[in-house]
Chain A
Amino acid sequence: MSVAHRAKPRPLATWLNTRRGEVILVALVVIAGGIMHAWGMFSYPYLENDEATYVSRAWAFVTEGRLDVYTYRYDHAPVGWMAIGGWLFLTGGDAFFGSMLESGRVFMLVVHLISTVLVYLIAKRFSNGSITAGVIAALIFSASPLGIYFQRRILLDNLMVMWLLLSILLAARKRATLGNYVASGIFFGIAVLTKLNAVFFGPAFLLLLWFGAAAHQRKHAMAHWLAFGGGTVLLFFMYALLNSELFPAPLGADGEPLRVSLIDTFALQLGRGDFAWPWDPAGSFLTALGSWAVKDSFTLALGLVSTVAVAIIAIVQRKKTVYPLALLTFILFYVFFLARGKIVLDLYVTPLLPLLAIAGGVMVGYALKVTPKRVEKVVRPALAVVAVGSLAATYAVLVPNRPYVIDEVGNQNLALDWVTDNVASDAVIATDNYIYPALAQERDYDNTMYFFSAEYDPESQTKYGDDWRNIDYLVLTHEVIAQIYAGTVPKMREILDHSELQASYTEGTTSFLDIPKYISTNGDWVQVYKTKSRNDIVLQDTWDHYRGEFVIDYGQVIDTVNDNTTSTGQADGMTRAIEEDDEATFRGIWQWTQDHLQHRSTDSLISWLWAKDATGTFGVANSDTVCGADQRIIGSLLQAGEKWNDPELTAEATTMAGDWWAACTFVADDGKRYIDSSADGSQDDQLVNPSFFDPTLYRYFETTLPQYPWAEVIDGGYTLLERLIAERGTVPDWAVVSETNELEPATSLIGPGADSLGQDTLRLVPNLLLEEVAGEARSTAILDVLEPQVIAYADAAPGMGASVTSAILSQLRDTGLDGQTIYENDIFGNYDAEAGYWFDGVNFVDQTWAWSWHEFQSQLPEQLQMPLE
């Protein structure tokens, strides 16, 4: 037998026997680390979006052979979730540990334990065999609060760290074989394919290999490490190439890429975040550093001291060993990566932790070595005890016990339960991914989408026709809010802005939350939002435009065409503010109305016109009131009083209602109570505007202002309309009820056209339609007469008012026309959905008319509303 061949290694039993003490010690450290990481790992930290992303991809990989649940975009190399997939497969998905996410966290515990042993071995190796160094490194690694925070999470970084440590250990083996170097290269390749930023450790490996390998092995070691590491990484690029997804994608006619591309994705990711010098306080590096320091000043401070110590050891020991220098290089290259001036995510600290822990161990290991030989028997153990003791004491003082007592996951689970209890399984849901595996993969909510994919992935976009209005629910979390804040998910922002809160789980959250400003500071809360109906979305968007365009000062609603402000305009503004739950604007408008238009000496009603006089000065141009506007203001005040629980508003409404009842209604000879057009104090002929008749409003007053007999007003209103139909065959814009209760023309008071069906008559139609829908026969009789006249009028005098009226008539009655077509052509056809207005957005009257179509829909029972697409 050739002497060139080494003796076989000792059998395991012998090996164990000679190292029994060490094995027991390491086992104890690993168990301690295991307890620290396992205790409370399902409750803290909260389930982060990325964790579920990897778990869902892992499950898709093992069940469907796909690299992503959506189109794989090369955002990360896939080996990390392949490994997670393997674990899920072996442990039966959610079967073993409750949910796939919990199973994933158990896997991370296993990964942590393996990494702990690797940290021990590397620290021991790097300190020339010091067991103390290994134990201290392993303890720091396990006990680091940052470590517990991030290593409990299902992150690619944790897997990458494990492969990386394995790769380091193999490359640094005593009497390493070429096989060891090849394996080290392959594991490094796997680390890179698990998380690409592992590549920043590459240069440190070259140093370790060059100076660590035996002289005659050196070049082979380097070459093979590079070849097998590089070859493994190359597989990823080959995969993209074979899929025709490597090179930049061609752009389609719409300027969007026609397919995914690895190079495009890389370019996008490399460009993420603006450049900032690492010392820039607003830069990503210092921000992240601050965030880490809040979580764990212990590991950072210890790591810093240890790194400096390792640097000194590297210099002093430069001729004896390469390992301190290699360790320093590993740390520094990664720190350079963090400080490169681009985006630094919180979790980027993860790969640094084992290195800092090893540095801590090596520091202590070498400190013990320099102890003089003659006192070593006493001093070394003493020093070891002091080192471990002081570390433990500092740890106890500096580190809170949050990981073991805080429940950050409870709210997340409650939200999941709420969704499964309250949302249909075919609902289209955009969500933080934490809920994705449970909904889409465990419970068949097939239309659940990761919010980022919903935003960008073409495959996902087909689920909602690429129109965010078709997404039913948004599960809002810290991550979603953060992305909305960063401006990366504009569609999600639209959904949030156009949705209503359905369920909110924020109890016990430590987050500072300001949803309207898109601010959250921690992920231990969840809210579920339901996207508004399309109609409500139009109402909201047009309100935004209306408020910006027509509401000036602190609440003046102005028609910018003629600069007039009317009580009707103020009433419109107040109605819409309540509808959109915009209390501030409502109060502003009401305050402005009170300040400028509520000055009549005889009553509390509102003067109808604020305009410029001949000198160009604004002021009350007419102190008369418009009873139609007054009644709406009263209604709005009552609603607002209820809605925002403000008795003062209710009181103001009540006062106005008393004056309105006294001044805006009159009882004619026939004993009927009619509504005056204006509380102008006229005692003889009463000018009336039939369109002021709003029976739905009066029925509301019956409950809110029961002190007045509103039935009289309703009855009087119908009587007037019936009399007009009977006498004139139509309902004109205006009429005069004479002292003798005759209906006389109003032309002399109003001008030409006052006695014909006109724009005012049109305003009556929705009021009557609502009554008809509610079963009021008198309304039907009147509409039967008016319907053909309105259609004819719309034909003869087209405009937004005519279109809106004929559209709603045709929607609910058989006019021979199609309400939907009229809507689509005349109303929606002139609507700018992005800007929230019709035509050019400037014509006040058109905006109000078009809005009234949508407003009318919201007043109809759901089954009668026109479905919008």
Chain B
Amino acid sequence: MLASVLYAVIVLSALVLLIQSIVSIQQTLYIWNDPDRMKASGVPDTFEQPELGFTVLLPARHEAAVIGETLRKLGAAHYPKDKVELMVICSEDDLETIAAAEAAKFEHKLINVTVLVFDGAPGKSKAMNLGLAAAKHPIVTIFDSEDDVSQDIFTIVNTIYLRRNVDVLQCGVQLMDYNSHWFSAHNVLEYFFWFKSRMHYYAKLQAVPLGGNTVFFRADDLKEVDGWDEVGLTEDADIGIRLSLKGKVFDVMYDPRHVTREEVPHTTKAFVKQRTRWNQGFLQILRKGDWLKLPRPEQKLLVGYVLTAPTYMALVIASAPLLVLLGATTKLPVAVSLFTFVPLFLAVVMLMVSLLGLHEFGKDQKIKVKPWSYAFLAITFIPYQVLLLVSSVRAMIREARGNRGWEKTVHLGGHRTAEHAQPVFAPVGIAASEVA
């Protein structure tokens, strides 16, 4: 009897791992799956004349070190200045950032920069909602204060909005400093697969947990859903779901030349904090339950999967070695043992995909990835899973304790100094985070 229960548990766990791995691989490789998909996912071949106006929301807090350079770059974008409004939004106590923004405005002769200051408690969502209320242009987008944004981004987005039926457009964001920390290559690859491939899969189902920046909205749509949720930790994913509920049309554009470049958290601790925040944010959205109102079952399934993945992946990651150990050491029926090895095999496939991803990332960004980086990626594969596991557990504990404070990620501008130079929001773990 006990043996049967054990077998059942093992087979069931292996089955969950198996399904998870297959789903994850499928999403990770979505863009490569079809020979034509890649081309269709990128930048149009020709561009429309500038027509649409953009309000760029730059919520900033203690970003004096980087806000000036961000404004300079955005100001130099290849798009008429009168059609782009750059809005830095700070709380009144953040004098350094306010001063840095004003200085940049003066120094770079930026006529289209507005600095919006608000009182009371600071908060990104609050800042963005204020920005939305004050926005001059019909298209609203968000960048983070440390972002390196493509100078052609407005031209491209203008063209896409004019040619396609689209309400919300998520453009590519990419972490660049793949060899700055022991975990950075994995983190970089999560972004790579998320924006290059997975987002397209979500867009196909019109259920998109949006990223935190380089995402374009129609201002009216945002107002229709009352802007961003000021309570949640992942307002970006949340608003994606609420816009889906309103039937807004989502699209995704990824082109390696035009991604928004960002940096990897500068310490392991910062990474864990960031990831904890996202995971906890997902738990909040999950609890909020809006996603259950999505019209199509596959949308519910997908969003439910994305929101819960970090949490149950903790269990999965913890049980995977246990399963293999059981399979190898316990005298199980051979068929059961064999079955426990299938998820392990798929994990190897995931590692292989990561290695290939690193290669492609290098090719996309014209970075020569050194052989040892591949070896290092393979070696740190399991430790990185442990990091994800810690973050998941931490998020669960914090959420259970009602500890919902914002653990901010510090930005140093590391992505701008390296050979590569640049992309923000860290979505849920991609390939590496969901490996069994």
Q: Chain A interface (Cβ within 8 Å of chain B)?
A: 1-6, 175-179, 213-214, 216-217, 219-220, 223-224, 227-228, 231, 234-235, 238-239, 242-243
Contacts and interface: CB of A to CB of B under 8 A. Distances in A.
Contacts of B165: 1
Given A2-B252, A239-B334, A178 B33 contact: yes
Nearest to B203: A2
A231 B356 contact: no
Contact of B338 (A219, A220, A242): A242
A220 B249 contact: no
A177 B348 contact: no
Contacts, number: 78
B204 A2 contact: yes
B37 A235 contact: no
B334 A176 contact: no
B395 to A, nearest CB: 31
The 6 closest A-B pairs by CB, nearest first: A214-B35, A4-B40, A4-B41, A178-B33, A2-B203, A177-B33
B337 A220 contact: no
Contacts of A6: 34, 36-37
Contact of B35 (A1, A176, A231, A234): A176
A216 B32 contact: yes
User: In which size bucket is the chain B interface?
Assistant: 20 to 34
A242 B36 contact: no
A5 B37 contact: yes
A224 B352 CA distance: 9
B35 A2 contact: no
A1 B352 CA distance: 31
A239 B34 contact: no
Interface string B38-53: 1011000000000000
27 contacts: A1-B165, A1-B206, A2-B40, A2-B203, A2-B250, A4-B200, A4-B203, A6-B34, A6-B36, A6-B37, A175-B35, A177-B33, A177-B34, A178-B32, A178-B33, A214-B35, A216-B32, A223-B352, A227-B348, A227-B349, A227-B352, A228-B349, A231-B345, A231-B349, A234-B345, A238-B341, A242-B334
B401 interface: no
A242 B35 contact: no
A3 B35 CA distance: 14
A232 to B, nearest CB: 9
A4 B31 contact: yes
A6 B200 CA distance: 12
B287 interface: no
B85 interface: no
Contacts of B349: 224, 227-228, 231
A1 B32 contact: no
B38 A242 contact: no
Contacts of A224: 349
B42 to A, nearest CB: 9
A223 B337 CA distance: 26
B11 interface: no
A332 to B, nearest CB: 28
Question: Which residue among A219, A224, A242 has the maximum number of chain B CB atoms within 10 Å of its CB?
Answer: A242
Interface string B3-39: 0000000000000000000000000010111111110
A4 B34 CA distance: 9
A2 B29 CA distance: 17
How would you classify the secondary structure of chain A's contact residues: helix, strand, loop or mixed?
helix
B345 A220 contact: no
B368 interface: no
Contacts of A3: 40, 164
A858 B251 CA distance: 97
A216 B357 CA distance: 12
A676 B257 CA distance: 124
Contact of A1 (B36, B249, B327, B359): B249
Contacts of B356: 219-220, 223
Contacts of A214: 35
B46 to A, nearest CB: 14
A234 B344 CA distance: 12
A238 B345 CA distance: 11
Contacts of A234: 345
A806 to B, nearest CB: 59
Nearest to B359: A219
A2 B338 contact: no
Nearest to B341: A238
B34 A175 contact: yes
Nearest to B26: A179
Interface string B334-373: 1001100100010011001100100110000000000000
A220 B31 CA distance: 11
A231 B25 CA distance: 15
A5 B204 CA distance: 7
Contacts of B341: 238
A229 B341 CA distance: 15
Contacts of A5: 37, 40, 200, 204
A1 to B, nearest CB: 7
Interface in B116-140: none
A243 B334 contact: yes
B359 to A, nearest CB: 7
Contacts of B252: 2, 4
Nearest to A180: B33
Interface string B244-273: 000001111000000000000000000000
Contacts of B29: 178, 220
